[in-house]
Chain A
Amino acid sequence: MAETKTDAMISTQPGYDRMASWPYFIWVVLLCMFFITILIWTVSMFFNAPLEEAAEWAKTPNPAKAPWYFIGLQELLVYFDPWIAGVIIPNQILIGLILIPYVDTAPEVQGCYNYSRRKFQFVFFSFGIFLWFFLIITGQLLRGPSWEIYWPIIDYPLGGHEWTYPNQILKASQAKLHNLSLPVGITISVIGFIVGMTLPAIMFKKYFKELGIIKYSLVMTHVLLTLGVVGKILLRLVFGIKYVIVTPWFNI
């Protein structure tokens, strides 16, 4: 196996099997362009782009939804305050994505699908993508008036139906929520963070040594933040806990 080639022009390295771009590659590109143009054109002939009534400040639709690619963040508003769901989490995702090549540099698994040799990377990335699209699908298809859960497609009257068992209201917006007290919340968070950072280092010593302390910390911080998001969602859904940490300035 070659050493990491940090210099440019890999394409001129020996052992990189090449063929002339003309005509085959150019044909692939041209056919691809034709195909996409025809596809977009055909779709455009059969489906009109949505255009609702003229914008009116006084008429707030219920629900008002963000575009589909941002609706995952809007869905997170159920579980987090806006400064986390709308600012911290998207920035964490961006920083996490940018960090990927700098914390996962093993050159031997490059340029091919290689699940078996990088299971952790595959599982963590796939989980992130799954979570992103899971939130999008929930927000886009399953949320109706007052951001309650509804079956998709069905056109509910504004205000929605009450889904009730005897004496138990199932509407999320009416669920009884409570907060953890500050010492308990901080203790749980700190213990979770310490255990989360140290336990994998002890369990996977080889991996820890390969990465080194800095890369390991960066990776595990992002793993724990991602798991933290999932954990907070579960706390809210299962135990009705709204905030883990409550302070006069901000709530988490």
Chain B
Amino acid sequence: MATNLNKNNEVSFVPPFLKKIFEYIKSTPVWKSIFRVGYPDTMPKRMAVMRSSFYMHIFPTKVGVHGMKIKYGWCMGGITFFLFLLLTVTGILLMFYYVPEEHRAYNDMKDLRYVVPFGVILRNMHRWGAHGMVFTVILHMIRVFYTGSYKPPRQFNWTVGVLLLLITLLLSFTGYLLPWDQLGFWAVTVGTNMASATPLLGYEGPFSKYLGIQIDNDIRFALIGGTRIGPNALVRAYVWHCVGLPLIATALMIFHFWRIRKDGFSGPM
């Protein structure tokens, strides 16, 4: 290690003493117990580094060259998943400051804006990230359609993808009510009023009166826990938003990614 040429005969700008320190750190049992493959500079090592790590293993050891092009895949599925992770992190932090109670929720929003350190940027990131996720998941679907990537053997994964689109919309929609401001309150009122028009199951829907469906036992009542948006609706939206729907989304995503992992990027056959 006396020379400053690395093994490809390129000039290295890392000072020799630093290199010695790196070499020492890399030779310690602790380092070796964490990074077990070593620097992945050969093909077997490159594959091993992916295979031997739980989190890296979500990616395949090798990817189709065809699908690597940005203009082919747009990265939209990946961005959607990353936004989901971003929203999980910011969402958990927001949960520290927010209580879904009729008289507290709105004040907590005000606190987030004016009192909590970085609260305003936390909430902004959660809000814009959520809109972004709805948008990217739609773009992802459009791209998959235009490239015909839902064709066999990926048909059922498209179905799971459609369900994930629906879950994404519902996640965003349930989150809309939580600030307990006029915007969310009336948007969710408009949205859930549609449920009361469900045929057979909604009290304003066709044929429901023959089943004894009324305002206090129809599908809208089940959704919002009352005859109008109130404290019960707030708790239900909160639980669906923070626990129920993310769990369902995760279960579906595990399936979705596993199938992509097994089938690879779609390519011309």
Q: Which residues of A contact B (CB under 8 A)?
A: 1-2, 4-11, 16-26, 28-29, 32-33, 36-37, 40-41, 43-45, 47-57, 59-61, 64-70, 73-74, 81-83, 85-88, 94, 97-98, 100-102, 104-114, 118, 121-122, 125, 129, 249-250
Q: 6 other contacts beyond A1-B269, A18-B62, A101-B159, with CB at 8 A cut-off?
A: A23-B46, A28-B68, A29-B59, A45-B121, A51-B109, A53-B182
B153 touches A6 (CB 8 A): yes
Q: How far in angstroms is the closest Cβ of chain A from B158?
A: 5
Given known A6-B152, A22-B46, A64-B186, contact A40–B62 (CB-CB < 8 A)? no
Tell me, in angstroms, the Cα distance from A57 to B197 when the chains sit together: 21
- A70 to B197, Cβ gap below 8 A? no
B62 to chain A, nearest CB (A): 4
Contacts of A18 in B (CB 8 A): 62-65
Q: How many A-B residue pairs have CB under 8 A?
A: 260
Give the docked Cα–Cα distance between A8 and B259 (Å).
8
Instruction: Please indicate the chain B residues that have their CB under 8 angstroms from the CB of A48 in the complex.
Output: 113, 120, 124
User: How far, in angstroms, from A54 to B72 measured CA to CA in the complex?
Assistant: 45
Say if the beta carbon of B61 comes within 8 Å of chain A. yes
Cβ–Cβ contact B195 & A19, under 8 A = no
Q: How far is the CA of A57 from the CA of B153 in the complex (A)?
A: 51
Q: Interface-forming stretch among B11-19, B21-29, B75-83, B242-250? A: B75-83
Say which residue of A50, A106, A250 sits within 8 Å of B183 (CB atoms): A50
**CB of B225 within 8 A of chain A?**
no
B90: min CB distance to chain A, Å = 9
Q: Out of B64, B165, B182, B269, which one reaches A59, CB within 8 Å?
A: B182
Contacts of B269 in A (CB 8 A): 1-2, 5, 107-108, 110-111
Q: List the B residue with the shortest CB-CB distance to A97.
A: B162
B262 touches A101 (CB 8 A): no
Interface centre among A16, A20, A81, A249 (most CB of B within 10 A): A20
Flag if A51 contacts B189 (CB, 8 Å): no
Q: Assess whether B128 is in contact with A100, with CB atoms less than 8 Å apart.
A: no
Residue of B67, B124, B198 near A47 (CB, 8 A) is: B124
Asked whether B205 lies within 8 Å of A67 as measured between CB atoms, the reply is no
A-side contacts of B266, CB under 8 Å:
10, 110-111
Residue contact A113 to B147, C-beta cutoff 8 Å? yes
Could you pull out 22 A-B pairs where Cβ atoms are within 8 angstroms?
A8-B263, A10-B153, A10-B263, A11-B60, A21-B46, A25-B68, A40-B83, A40-B129, A45-B121, A55-B181, A55-B184, A61-B182, A65-B187, A83-B199, A98-B159, A110-B269, A111-B148, A111-B266, A111-B268, A112-B72, A112-B147, A118-B148
